[in-house]
Amino acid sequence: MIVRPRIAEHARLPPLLSTIDGRTIDLKKLARDFILIVIILKAPWCPVCPTLLSLLSFLGFTADEDDPQEWSDPFTSEVRTVTREHRKFNHILLAYDARFIVMCPGQAGALLEIAHRTGWDRVPEVSFVADAELQLVEQLGLRTVAGAWPSTVRVLPDLSARTIEIGRSAGYYGDHTLLLRLATTRRTEESNAVSALKQSQTLSARLQAECAASTHYDYPAKDKLPLELLTTITSQIAATEISHFRSGNDSPVHSTLGEAAKTCKSWRYVSLVTGSHNLQEQIKKVEKLLAKCPKTGRILTCTDEDWGYGYPAGAQVPPVSIVTLEREVCELARIKTWIYDVFGSLGAHAAKDATPSVSERIKDIPPSAT
């Protein structure tokens, strides 16, 4: 029976690691803000593993548009080519979406030589960690007699690791699997964002219609509160209630704002305005993180073309990680869930036929990492 290497079931990396240049990196923060990729080299003497770094540079990590579009494999002499369009898209995946830790058994000096030779020592998105005692690869379950299993893994915010590729050999470096994983992640998150925007824009239109149909706040003498002060109060209440869902609770929030809105038409109107404002502001945040056509402003998502994943020519892609988009889409789902709770209690038309059950509401909130 052939036993394939795999990451240990309950493997966790330490929250802080020291790099060969004396820095301390916070793995939890990196994994929250980016797709954190750890490239494990077999050993300092392995001639194959550093080739993955050079190949990723050629494919778009550090290469410019006018750099050579051919790369010759030093072991097989196979010639690899890349188009400008593909290189641009790979750069988005490797430089915007991901952050890299290159880990290798052995001393820092040997790893520093690899960093210099591949040019990755000049790339700010990369950190080099020397696993001198093989403790880290031991924790991951990837230690071998000769050093470590050459691997590419993703580290999640809870410091657990997920396999992208285990194994590397001359002519097969794992670049395709890594880029495909990054591309499908970006495509999935963009599709989720577009779907969430459509639902939220429909809800926003209903809220605005309800605001228009409600009695406007006319600062009656009995309220003794100017509109500006009242909206500040309701905005603070809204922020507190939305944070209920941000903490992972899956039960309906007891809406203070919903109860307050029952007291009079003025408070009801201000509550509607507050809900509408929160939703519209979050919609704008999500829209800013998506690629757009510069001529029409239409939102674009990456697609699987004949030559591979990519965007239409001329697309303007914000230079931010796809994880940022995922986080803002989660926040949009939380605001929408809060609105369902508040306006469900108000009986507003905005929530009619749209208020899901508790379990359905929580399905709107995608997991932070898979």
**pLDDT tens, residue by residue, 30-49:** 999 999 999 999 999 999 99
Is 148's pLDDT higher than 90? Answer: yes
Q: Are residues 158 and 74 in the same domain?
A: yes
Spatial separation of the C-alpha atoms in residues 193 and 326, rounded to whole Å: 8
pLDDT tens digit sequence for 332-342: 999 998 888 77
Domain count, the chain: 2
Q: Are residues 161 and 197 in the same domain?
A: no
Asked whether residue 370 is assigned to any structural domain, the reply reads no
Is 362's pLDDT higher than 50? Answer: no
Asked whether residue 368 is assigned to any structural domain, the reply reads no
Domain end residue (candidates: 173, 207, 228): 173
pLDDT reported for residue 222: 58
Asked whether residue 11 is assigned to any structural domain, the reply reads no
Structural domain that includes position 357: 184-363
Asked whether residue 133 is assigned to any structural domain, the reply reads yes
pLDDT reported for residue 358: 34
Asked whether residue 241 is assigned to any structural domain, the reply reads yes
Spatial separation of the C-alpha atoms in residues 114 and 164, rounded to whole Å: 22
The continuous run of DSSP H or E covering 137 comes out as helix 135-140
Spatial separation of the C-alpha atoms in residues 206 and 198, rounded to whole Å: 13
Is 291's pLDDT higher than 70? Answer: yes
Is 66's pLDDT higher than 90? Answer: no
Asked whether residue 9 is assigned to any structural domain, the reply reads no
Q: Are residues 209 and 319 in the same domain?
A: yes
Provide the total of helices (H) and of strands (E) in the chain, helices listed first. Answer: 11, 13
